[in-house]
């Protein structure tokens, strides 16, 4: 069953369930899901408020499940899921320690960063209420953005052909800033200190 079939068959419950999976396993793609939802809203099959809240709530629950797993079992729990490399997790964790809660909110709105956000929050044992509130707010904003694309421009590939360039440019600028942050000298030095094996790898490459 594909995403559209699930949404057509289970309506808001389908959106809710798919976004729990997205929050926990980063699958399926929330961008594709919400563009489809936006299109279905334009046909009056779904309502904007219940659809966006169902998605944001599901995503928040998925994030909370990942957060609780990491909080209880440590970083190896996230690594065992097979989707996260310890080095990447460590980079995000270091930046989170330096930048604070705002990093959770902003990072949750960035495609390449959002999947990691519950992990440093769990390791740092961020207050559960604050974490859930930040995840819901960011998830709802994310849902409204992509629902709007589907609502106004439809679900076809023409959406990405016509507006993908603009979206890509905006995403590139934001991700470039975060990439510089994640790969700054300060973060890299701390990463090498915390991950001895990574230090050996860097030295080996330099030979």
Per-residue HEC secondary structure of 38-85 comes to: HHHHHCCCCCHHHHHHHHHHHHHHHHHHHHHHHHHHCHHHHHHCCCCC
- Mean pLDDT of the region 134-140: 96
How far is CA 161 from each of CA 3, 22, 33, rounded to the nearest angstrom? Answer: 21, 25, 18
CB 33 within 8 A of CB 18: yes
pLDDT at position 46 is 97
pLDDT at position 82 is 67
CB 148 within 8 A of CB 38: yes
Q: Which of 89-98, 99-108, 134-143, 185-194 has the lowest mean pLDDT?
A: 185-194
Q: Which of 4-8, 87-91, 176-180, 196-200 has the lowest mean pLDDT?
A: 196-200
pLDDT at position 129 is 96
Please tell me the pTM assigned to this model.
0.76
- The pLDDT tens digits of the residues spanning 35-91 come to 999 999 999 999 999 999 999 999 999 999 999 999 998 877 877 776 667 777 777
pLDDT at position 65 is 95
- Confidence band for 199, pLDDT divided at 50, 70 and 90: very low
Q: H or E stretch including 28? A: none
pLDDT at position 66 is 93
What percent of the chain has pLDDT above 90?
40
Please state, rounded to an integer, the average pLDDT across all residues of the chain. 80
pLDDT at position 102 is 81
- Mean pLDDT of the region 28-34: 90
């Amino acid at each position: 069953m594909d995403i559209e079939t699930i949404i057509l068959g289970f309506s808001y419950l389908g959106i809710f369930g798919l976004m729990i999976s997205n929050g926990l396993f980063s699958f399926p793609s929330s961008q594709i899901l919400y563009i489809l939802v936006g299109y279905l809203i334009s046909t009056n099959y779904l309502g904007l408020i219940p659809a966006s809240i169902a998605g944001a709530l599901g995503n928040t629950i998925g994030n909370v499940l990942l957060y609780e797993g990491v909080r209880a079992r440590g970083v190896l729990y996230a690594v065992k899921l097979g989707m996260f490399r310890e080095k990447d997790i460590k980079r995000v964790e270091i930046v989170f320690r330096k930048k604070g809660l705002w990093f959770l909110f902003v990072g949750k709105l960035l495609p390449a960063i959002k999947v990691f956000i519950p992990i440093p929050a769990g390791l740092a044992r961020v207050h559960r209420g604050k974490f859930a509130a930040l995840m819901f707010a960011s998830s709802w904003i994310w849902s409204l953005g992509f629902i709007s694309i589907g609502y106004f421009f439809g679900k076809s590939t023409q959406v990405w052909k016509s507006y993908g360039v603009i979206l890509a440019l905006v995403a590139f600028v934001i991700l470039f800033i975060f990439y510089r942050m994640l790969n700054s000298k300060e973060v890299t030095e701390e990463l090498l200190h915390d991950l001895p094996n990574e230090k050996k790898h860097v030295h080996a490459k330099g030979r």
